[in-house]
A = this chain, B = another copy of it.
Amino acid sequence: MFSIGTLAKRTGTKVQTIRYYEQIGLMPEPGRTDGGQRRYGDVELDRLSFIRHSRQLGFSLGAIRELLDLSDSPERSCAQVDAVAQKQLREVEARIARLEALRVELRRMISECNAERVADCRILEVLRDHEGCLSDHQQPTP
């Protein structure tokens, strides 16, 4: 049995983040000391490690909740788990595609600016007028 601070250290999480996960029901309510302080065991350590690692791989808390629920049914097919991961992969790929388009535009506008004065700055020109762009980029970056 160990304290929230120890759990935090062992998982590279902030104490408040752990309490936040508890608040939204992602971490279970742990036992308490007589004085009211949280006490954790290895089950909670594993669960939090899972959550943190999934976060590092970009999964949303919603997706992580789903994955945790699924892993409670070891006999079921893992097709749903795989689907969650596939979806995450597609999202990552979509974000990469968007960012690569941005990179092209940014590089171009930076390289085209040889001006000294703000009045002639190519960067500001492009920002004022999308005609100076190659790609579409409708939605502001998420």
Contacts and interface: CB of A to CB of B under 8 A. Distances in A.
Q: How many copies does the complex hold?
A: 2
B116 A78 contact: yes
Interface residues on A, range: 35 or more
Interface stretch (A2-10, A18-26, A28-36, A52-60): A52-60
Contact of A85 (B82, B119, B123): B123
A140 B20 CA distance: 15
A127 interface: yes
If over half of A's interface residues share one DSSP class (helix, strand or loop), that class is named, otherwise mixed; here it is helix
A37 interface: no
Contact of A77 (B50, B56, B116, B139): B116
A15 interface: no
